Every structure is written in structure tokens, then in C-alpha cells.
Amino acid sequence: MNLVLGLFGFCSILFLVAAEDPYRFFDWNVTYGDIYPLGVKQQGILINGQFPGPEIYAVTNDNLIINVHNSLPEPFLLSWNGVQQRRNSFQDGVYGTTCPIPPGKNFTYKLQVKDQIGSFFYFPSLAFHKAAGGFGSIKILSRPLIPVPFPNPADDFTLLIGDWYKLDHTILKRFLDLGHRLPLPQAVLINGRANWTTFTVEQGKTYRLRISNVGLENTLNFRIQDHTMKLVEVEGTHTLQTSYSSIDVHVGQSYSVLITADQAPKDFHIVVSTRFTEKILTSTAVLHYSNSQGSLSDVIPGGPTEIDWSIQQARSIRTNLTASGPRPNPQGSYHYGTINISRTIKLVSSAALVNGKQRYAVNGVSFVPADTPLKLADYFKIDGVFHVGSIPDSPSGKSTHLDTSVMGAGFRAFVEIVFQNRENIVQSWHIDGYSFWVVGMDGGMWTPNSRKQYNLQDAVSRSTTQVYPRSWTAIYMALDNVGMWNIRSEFWARQYLGQQFYMRVYSDAGSLRDEYLIPENALLCGKALSRKTTPL
Ligand SMILES: *[C@@H]1O[C@H](CO)[C@@H](O)[C@H](O)[C@H]1NC(C)=O
Ligand SMILES: *[C@@H]1O[C@H](CO)[C@@H](O)[C@H](O)[C@H]1NC(C)=O
Ligand SMILES: *[C@@H]1O[C@H](CO)[C@@H](O)[C@H](O)[C@H]1NC(C)=O
Ligand SMILES: *[C@@H]1O[C@H](CO)[C@@H](O)[C@H](O)[C@H]1NC(C)=O
Ligand SMILES: *[C@@H]1O[C@H](CO)[C@@H](O)[C@H](O)[C@H]1NC(C)=O
């Protein structure tokens, strides 16, 4: 008996060693440099001299070792939109989880893209750096033996789209610090440029396009003249393959589509334009057939104008239940619709003046950072940094106030979150550490009756969802990832002025199976400065 157990143990150790997931190493130098996205010089944030930053290619379960050297004259952090950091919120790179990298110093992120596939991006999370660049795409490919529900495309293009200011990010930040609202962005960029990017395709072939909205506030409509797009993946979920003539990409979201070069050989407009804005900002790129015999048409095709069109499209985006995700078993094998909800959280966003300054809030609380990352205060049991319960589960009716808002939640709870939007803008919400099912959205106020229209079969699972003007969006989320997780508006000025909070998903067990120890190389700061990272 013992011998058998012993042998079994021996074999499983061997197996673990042999099966260790591959490592990929990155060495990144972050600097200021001149960029010309609109033809005039601006100060941009470059990574290894590039704007946008280098692309990360990975395969499910790869370990990414990313050494980030901060050569800016100010603190800096990168965060990983949609990469779940399982059991490891220390690596999340937002100011509630990770100490800023001081100027002239470096920090090595150790991420594992555990059980993930799909299209994501990274971005600078501190100050208003996101308005200066420092972002790039993350592509997580399926492991070789796991079926992907479409043939291998001839190429895999990245399109980082986003609205953009001609104003320097330091000026924008000063505006916000003084308590003003920002003016509207002034342009739209595609891969860091307006109007000058070309994608060359061969007639008859099919291509994958990964589109991420890395911008600051606007929903963008994406379309390609005379070509339909077959949606195949949304933030890590293989979708029902539906064809669209254009797609609304809300800020912070990522979509993969397939396009086939099935037209007469010429050049076509790729168009990105703002939605729901009075003045429509447009940027174009070129889809160039390698055997092109015609130039671009003078007319740039227009986009949809109705909001209903967008809602209908959102509802039509569903999970392909029989397709594989990161694992060989079908994505539909987890029946989220049959699990009992243990808690309903209702998040209502608002804008208000506090002490004469513009602030934005969730459930009446406008987030202000503490002197110590919340995750480190929690880990080292340092009092006086934050308190759990500083944001209520639904609006309390009190007037807007500032706090370092943290909501407590039990590991393995299954929660329903309702985002209620009372304003006349489209909102976009992101949750770190998780992906969630977008079970419903509709106009008006959410009531328990709204549950009758939920999609409990094949809702899409993703990490960023839009909430339409004067509407609600409901999500289901299985709290299976212990840590301190940022829930934020992706409208960047709003998150900067407090429209965000942290969810502390907690387990009493203190087991490494639930959460890793603090990384040995973790930077320490604030009240955690003199602590030791090596466990006793
Ligand atoms: C980063 O780039 C700057 C500017 O080119 C250079 O001075 C610095 O030595 C570089 N740092 C690293 C770590 O490569
Ligand atoms: C890019 O092209 C669009 C559409 O023609 C135009 O509205 C916009 O001003 C152009 N942007 C720049 C920076 O030239
Ligand atoms: C900083 O970079 C050096 C190599 O250039 C590396 O040895 C060291 O571990 C890095 N520091 C941190 C905190 O990751
Ligand atoms: C769903 O995935 C299956 C399995 O890969 C595939 O055969 C099927 O075409 C997909 N269906 C749709 C509608 O995308
Ligand atoms: C869910 O709740 C219902 C009613 O309270 C109960 O009958 C059922 O067993 C529960 N299901 C699960 C999976 O816990």
C-alpha cells in the first residue's frame, strides 16, 4: 500500500516537473519620446522605443517574466487588462495591488496566463499615463492539441483603436487634479496613428483581426468597406460565429473577427469612428489587396447611428457552448445559469462636486488611493489603510464622499452584479481578476423582475461590459479567485477621479492553493516599506 502510494507520489512529481509550463522573457525599457500620431510632435510613453508598445504573444498557461525598467522621471506601473492573475493579485499592477516602480528602478512581473485564451491588452495604470501611450496587445493562443473553432487564419493582425488628445497627459492630469472636467478627446488613432496604417491581404485568404479599444472614453464603431466580419472571440470566449457589417467596441473591450478578402482586388477603407458623440471623430486605415488594381474610393462608409442597433448587437454576442476554450472540454460545460446567487450587488455610478471639485463615484463613494497598496496592507496585516465595507452593496442615499473603498466578498460565492446607469452617457466597466457572464441589459431601472429576461444559457463571458445610457447591465460572477481586485470605470477621467473600488475576495484557509505568497521581488512602499517579503 505504502509502496503504491509512494510510487504514485513519485510519478506525479515527475509529471509536474516534466509538465512545467513554458517561460517567456521580456525586457522592457519605458521612456518618454517624441511621437507624431496626428502629424505634430507629442510626448509619448514608449516601450523599447515603440508606440504602441511591443506585442505579447503567449500560449495558454505560459509564464510571462516581464522586467519593466522605469526610465520616466516619475513612478510607473503596467496593468494587464483581462489577464486574470489567478491567486496572484500582487502582479496586477494597479495602485491597490502593487507598489509603483520608482523612477530609474525596475520591477519584474511574473504572470501566468493560466487557463486563458484570447485577445487582451496592457496599459499604464498610474497618473494619466494612458493618454500618452505605454499600451500594447496581448494575444494568448490555444495549446496545440486543443481545437480552435475555425481554420487557422492566413495572418493575425492587431488593431489598437482609441480616442486621443492633442494635449499632453500631464496637462490633462493637472486639469483633473484642479477639479475640472476634461474637454472631449480630439482624434481617434489606429495602432498609434490617424489615417496612415495599411494592412496587406491576399485575395481569397481569411485573416484574424484583434480589435481592442485602448482609448480614454469613447465607444468606437469598427467597419471595413464592402467586407463583413465574422465575430469569433470576445475577451477569451469563443463566440457564436455571427457576421456583422460593423461592431461597436466600448472602451476597454477586445474583439476578434475573421475577414475574407473576397472582393475585386483594390484598396478598401477600414474605418473607426466615435459613437454617441455630437461631433463624430473618424480615423481610417487601408485594407490593401496585394494584387490591388484600384485605389480608395473618395467616400468613407458611414456607421450606424441608432443606440438600439448597438443594444441588439450586444445581445446577439453569445458563447459557442460546444467550442473549446482554453481547455478541451466545451465552454458550455459550466452551467452558470443553474447556480444559486448568493448575493446581489447593485452599483450605481454618479458624478458630483465634492469640496468644489469634480468627482465621480460608485454607490456614493469616490475612491481615493491610500499611502500603501491595499493588497500589501492586507498581506502584512497593517491597520489604518482601508476598511472592508467602506462601500455599500447598493446606494445608501448619502451624498458623495471620498474613501478608500473596499468591498468584502467570500471566496466561492456566486454573485449577481447590476450596473445601473442613470446618466446620458455609455459607461464601460471592467473587473480585474475575473471574467463574468453578461446575462442581461436593458433600458430603464433594473428590478428583480428584470431577471426574467436574463440569458441563462449562452451569455458571453468577458471582463469588460458596457452599460447604455439610462439602462442597466447585469452580470453573474463566480468568485473563484482570491485577491484584491479593482472594479473600475474604463472612462479614464472618471476612474482617475474616483469611479472605482476594490473587491477583496477572501479565504480564511490561508492556503497556497487559494492564494500565492507575496513575490520575493515585490517592491515595498508606504506603511509596508520595512516589511520583509520572504516568509519566515
Ligand atoms: C532606457 O533607455 C534610456 C534612453 O534611451 C537609456 O538611457 C537607459 O539606459 C535605458 N535603460 C535600460 C535599462 O535599458
Ligand atoms: C483622418 O481622416 C478622417 C476622415 O477623412 C478625418 O476626419 C480626420 O481629420 C483625419 N485625421 C487626421 C489627423 O488627419
Ligand atoms: C531588475 O532587473 C535586474 C536585471 O536587470 C534583475 O536582476 C532584478 O531582479 C530586477 N529587479 C526586480 C525588483 O525585479
Ligand atoms: C461552434 O463550435 C463548433 C465546435 O468547434 C463549431 O463546429 C461550430 O461551427 C460553431 N458554431 C457557431 C455557430 O459558431
Ligand atoms: C438552489 O436553491 C433552491 C431553492 O432554495 C434549492 O432547492 C436548490 O437545491 C439550490 N440549488 C443548488 C445547486 O444549490
- The pLDDT tens digits along the chain (536 residues) read 343 333 344 434 434 444 589 999 999 999 999 999 999 999 999 999 999 999 999 999 999 999 999 999 999 999 999 999 999 999 999 999 999 999 999 999 999 999 999 999 999 999 999 999 999 999 999 999 999 999 999 999 999 999 999 999 999 999 999 999 999 999 999 999 999 899 999 999 999 999 999 999 999 999 999 999 999 999 999 999 999 999 999 999 999 999 999 999 999 999 999 999 999 999 999 999 999 999 999 999 999 999 999 999 999 999 999 999 999 999 999 999 999 999 999 999 999 999 999 999 999 999 999 999 999 999 999 999 999 999 999 998 899 999 999 999 999 999 999 999 999 999 999 999 999 999 999 999 999 999 999 999 999 999 999 999 999 999 999 999 999 999 999 999 999 999 999 999 999 888 889 999 999 999 999 999 999 876 54
- Residue of 241, 321, 333, 458 best suited for mutating to test ligand 4, as the one with most atoms within 8 Å of CB: 241
Contacts (Cβ under 8 Å, ≥6 apart) of 513: none
Which ligand has the shortest distance to the CA of 47? Answer: 1
Question: Cα separation of 221 and 230, whole Å?
Answer: 15
- Looking at residue 480, what is its pLDDT? 97
CA of 194 to the centre of ligand 2 (A): 7
- Looking at residue 19, what is its pLDDT? 58
Domain identity same for 278 and 219:
yes
Q: Is position 535 within any domain?
A: no
Domain identity same for 107 and 188:
no
Q: Is position 414 within any domain?
A: yes
DSSP for 84-146, written as a single string: --TT-GGGS-STTTSPPBPTT-EEEEEEE-TT--EEEEEEE-STTGGGGB--EEEEEEPPTTS
Q: Is position 325 within any domain?
A: no
| Pairing, β 118-124 against β 156-164 | unpaired
Grid cell for residue 231: 465575430
Nearest CA to ligand 2 atom 7: 282
Atom of ligand 3 nearest to the CA of 106: 1
Nearest CA to ligand 4 atom 11: 240
Q: How many domains does the chain have?
A: 3
Question: Cα separation of 389 and 406, whole Å?
Answer: 6
Domain identity same for 470 and 429:
yes
Torsion sign over Cα 157, 125, 390, 410: positive
- Looking at residue 340, what is its pLDDT? 97
- Within 232-388, residue ranges assigned H as helices are 307-316, 374-379
Q: Is position 3 within any domain?
A: no
- Looking at residue 532, what is its pLDDT? 81
- Looking at residue 534, what is its pLDDT? 65
Q: Is position 6 within any domain?
A: no
Measured between alpha carbons, how far is residue 523 from residues 22, 89, 181 in Å? 25, 14, 33
Q: Is there an atom of ligand 2 within 6 Å of 283 CB?
A: yes
Domain identity same for 471 and 408:
yes
Q: Is there an atom of ligand 4 within 6 Å of 322 CB?
A: yes
Atom of ligand 2 nearest to the CA of 281: 7
CATH of the domain at 489: 2.60.40.420
Nearest CA to ligand 1 atom 4: 31
Q: Is there an atom of ligand 1 within 6 Å of 87 CB?
A: no
CA of 225 to the centre of ligand 2 (A): 17
CA angle 98, 434, 492 (to 5 degrees): 60
Nearest CA to ligand 3 atom 12: 107
Nearest CA to ligand 1 atom 8: 71
- Looking at residue 98, what is its pLDDT? 98
Domain identity same for 286 and 172:
yes
Domain identity same for 374 and 241:
no
Residue 417 main-chain phi, psi, to 5 deg? -120, 130
Beta carbons within 10 angstroms of residue 147's beta carbon: 10
Q: Is position 100 within any domain?
A: yes
Torsion sign over Cα 66, 69, 70, 71: negative
| Listed residues 316, 347, 370: the one ending a domain | 316
Domain identity same for 216 and 305:
yes
- Looking at residue 5, what is its pLDDT? 38
Q: Is position 449 within any domain?
A: yes
Domain identity same for 234 and 283:
yes
Q: Is there an atom of ligand 3 within 6 Å of 108 CB?
A: yes
- Residue of 258, 322, 329, 333 best suited for mutating to test ligand 4, as the one with most atoms within 8 Å of CB: 322
- Looking at residue 332, what is its pLDDT? 93
Read off the amino acid at residue 524: L
Range of the domain at 105: 17-141
| Listed residues 285, 316, 347: the one ending a domain | 316
Question: Cα separation of 496 and 486, whole Å?
Answer: 13
Domain identity same for 350 and 294:
no
Question: Cα separation of 458 and 439, whole Å?
Answer: 9
Question: Cα separation of 10 and 114, whole Å?
Answer: 25
Atom of ligand 2 nearest to the CA of 39: 13
Measured between alpha carbons, how far is residue 131 from residues 51, 82, 285, 439, 499 in Å? 12, 19, 21, 32, 18
- Looking at residue 53, what is its pLDDT? 98
Q: Is there an atom of ligand 1 within 6 Å of 67 CB?
A: no
Which helix (H) or strand (E) is 462 found in, with range?
Answer: strand 461-462
Domain identity same for 451 and 499:
yes
| Listed residues 141, 171, 205: the one ending a domain | 141
Domain identity same for 309 and 377:
no
Domain identity same for 496 and 363:
yes
DSSP 8-state symbol, 464: E
CA of 66 to the centre of ligand 2 (A): 36
For 182, what's the count of Cα atoms within 13 Å in the CB-facing half-sphere?
28
Q: Is position 533 within any domain?
A: no
